[in-house]
Chain A
């Protein structure tokens, strides 16, 4: 054996993060052309129309809800919370993938995130918007919602600061604000590119305003990078805190099935799980429709599958421990809760959940499955459904049979519960369709960074500048430095 480090011809076995044969110009045109395309493609129009019908259904439901009150929902006593909170948690969870991809993967220097982050962040924003509708309308008088905030008032009424619902108001509104800022900041350089490549005057004006005077100056970039890292650093604890606080909504209470110490990490993992499933559910068709295979590559999809598998297993670890401790605790109510979950009147929901969130996603262990878009899509659909079922199992099944058998009551959703839920899906998709058509959905400049042209040959720079730092280049701070 030779001494010293041996240099082997090491070929990275992973597929590339960017398709071959691209240069600066082709990247810009490939992404910007989707926005500058004249007219609308039939597929887009059809998809948009269907989604918009869903959104209209939502608006109608909201109008009727405000007119009649929340009695039109199936909520009852003891199930005072049902679809409204299930859908809230479901949507908030879906949003988490966006922040994870854009902030945490940035801090971990995972460059493969570059092509999917914008898209995922847009999803975050729209999902949070959908989520916010539910608690806001659940109050019954949404025009009084400002009472959720601790505003000084002559009646001396304050929200209960010990209530996790109060914490939710702060967590979710902060999260929405930071996500919006992060998304917009990332868009600024691309808006400038759009301004410069636009052919019509009005397009130049609109993108010109949105790009806020960006000239691509070295100083702009330096400040941009700093701001982007700072926002990433801010968003990272938010990803954890939002879903942790959502989990406190339940675990701070003492209802069996809600009061479990594992809830915070288990909810966060579930959120990321659901979020990645949704990114893929939307990403796979969009990638095909707009021929973006070079930017959203097999590598991206494989990596996302691995994240789903990991977070999915953490969620299933939670299921397993809840079941085990239901028995181990020796507590009558815990024991009953677990029996009721598995074999009670809604027992089929629990087993469906196990099928969707545990059994089917195990397919992702196999490389063949991780390479087949069709199967990934199928698995993602199961996860989307499974994560909704999980919240149903936790929320409704714990409430409808609690401590006192005389107050037990079954819960049945009404048509308005469904029209509101499917309506938000329509609303979400409407916004996604608009986003895809009118905003560059893949960050142009971040893709360019991955091009061979963008790689600085440090030895050459040193040779040219003879050891002096090149003029106009300031070192960019990295997070964690």
Chain B
């Protein structure tokens, strides 16, 4: 292994801190679940789903970015390639962590209920969708999604190792050849996973842009996460002398672009459904225009789009890691809020019961709790290898001072 770019020794300590925070989260989560009265089982699975979708968002977003940086062939991808690979590897963990969702299907998805307990309209819908939405098909499809994702993650990892070990110049080309068709299958898998895991919480609602919207949201989250990883690594040798303002500048631009894409997709979906005002579509939004969700939705407009958008327009901010990381932190928090806004109203069944303030805390605790495990896995992976692909022919260009900015 190349020792010049070896991971800093105290990364283990950071891993420990992540674990510790995760443990605190877990404790909070357990308390929240136990305190939720008679709904402990439902509360557990519902909070678990939010946490799961959040963390797999980083795994999947990073896998997608890994393919895109190969396809783009530009040198900006080099400094983030190892964190991307480590994040994509967490999909192994996420496969195991999917088991509770299968177990808790009944607490999450109405389509898994006995049709005779449902209303007439809901029963019709369940009968119609039974071929697609049944526990077996759900599990089989999830297996297929993971086969695609893990297949891609491991194949790309293999090429990357070949480059490290044998200075194999053809490895990048092979990775590129895989990334093209790979991204296609990846995109389809993420789309249908979003339909299965999130959209099917509502029996009736559908939106054809939902898959793309999910991919964009995961992109926003992943870039924000990478900015933080670069900030953490950049405080320590050896990377303290490697990362330059231009690298943060590139990530900042990507963050800006993805924030805009996310807003564009979200706004398109809202405008089209609002203007159509059709009985099968608009209830989904109406539920989110009510009570606290109304303000949370407003917060999404201002804090998931407007504020970060305006801040990220600044060149100075993008080149200054200390300020950029604050925007990234805001976006990470807003991703959690967005997922709550997407998922939680479905568990309130049209306002039959409201999520208490303690309920929201339980959701956040779940995200933190699962995060300890996820981050532990991520840092464990990151420590295994050099932090830069030291045999890549473009590395020189990527690390050159100044650059064309």
Contacts and interface: CB of A to CB of B under 8 A. Distances in A.
Interface of A: 1, 3-8, 10, 13, 109, 162, 240, 244, 248, 251-254, 259-265, 313, 317-318, 320-322, 325, 328-331, 365, 478, 480-481
Contacts of B180: 365
Nearest to A263: B272
Contact of A265 (B212, B315, B399, B404): B212
Contact of A331 (B1, B272, B280): B280
Interface of B: 1-4, 124-125, 128-129, 132, 167, 169, 173, 180-181, 184, 187-188, 191, 195, 204, 206-212, 253, 264-265, 268-269, 271-273, 275-278, 280, 315, 390-391, 393-396, 399, 404-405
A252 B167 contact: no
Nearest to A321: B208
Given A259-B278, A480-B315, A6 B390 contact: yes
A1 B207 CA distance: 53
B390 to A, nearest CB: 6
Contact of B404 (A244, A262, A365, A478): A478
A252 B272 contact: yes
Contacts of A4: 4, 390
6 contacts: A5-B390, A6-B167, A240-B264, A264-B264, A331-B280, A481-B405
B268 A261 contact: yes
A261 B272 contact: yes
A264 B216 CA distance: 15
Nearest to A244: B268
Chain A CB within 10 A, most for which of B207, B273, B277, B405: B207
Given A265-B212, A325-B206, A259 B405 contact: no
Contact of A251 (B125, B169, B272): B272
Contacts of B271: 248, 252
A330 B128 contact: yes
Contact of A321 (B191, B253, B391): B191
Contacts of B2: 1, 3
B133 to A, nearest CB: 9
B280 A329 contact: yes
B265 to A, nearest CB: 7
Contact of A322 (B1, B208, B272, B393): B208
Contacts of B191: 317, 321
Given A254-B277, A328-B132, A365-B181, 10 more contacts: A109-B404, A252-B271, A254-B278, A262-B209, A264-B268, A265-B209, A265-B212, A313-B184, A328-B195, A480-B253
By DSSP majority rule, is chain B's interface helix, strand, loop, or mixed? helix
B4 A10 contact: no
B220 to A, nearest CB: 16
Contacts of A328: 129, 132, 195, 206
Given A5-B390, A328-B132, A265 B265 contact: yes
B207 A481 contact: no
A7 B404 CA distance: 21
Contact of B391 (A6, A261, A329, A330): A6
Contact of B187 (A251, A261, A317): A317
A7 B167 CA distance: 11
Contact of A252 (B188, B207, B276, B393): B276
Contacts of A320: 188
Contacts of A259: 272, 276, 278
B78 to A, nearest CB: 11
A5 B399 contact: yes
Contacts of B268: 244, 261, 263-265
Contacts of A321: 191, 208, 211
Given A6-B390, A481-B405, A330 B129 contact: yes
Contacts of B265: 264-265
B217 to A, nearest CB: 14
Nearest to B166: A1
B393 A10 contact: yes
Contacts of B184: 313
B4 to A, nearest CB: 5
Nearest to A6: B391
Contacts of A481: 315, 405
A240 B265 CA distance: 12
Contact of B4 (A3, A7, A251): A3
A261 B266 CA distance: 10
B261 to A, nearest CB: 9
A260 B208 contact: yes
B388 to A, nearest CB: 9
Contacts of B208: 260-262, 318, 321-322, 325
B92 to A, nearest CB: 27
Contacts of A8: 167, 169, 391, 393
Nearest to B319: A481
A329 B206 contact: yes
B379 to A, nearest CB: 24
B247 to A, nearest CB: 14
Contacts of A244: 264, 268
Contacts of B273: 261
Nearest to B269: A261
B199 to A, nearest CB: 9
Contacts of B204: 330
Contacts of A260: 208, 272
Contacts of A478: 404-405
B398 to A, nearest CB: 10
Contacts of B212: 262, 265
B268 to A, nearest CB: 4
A171 to B, nearest CB: 14
A3 B5 CA distance: 9
A265 to B, nearest CB: 6
Nearest to B131: A327
A248 B278 CA distance: 16
B378 to A, nearest CB: 26
A264 B187 CA distance: 18
Nearest to B195: A328
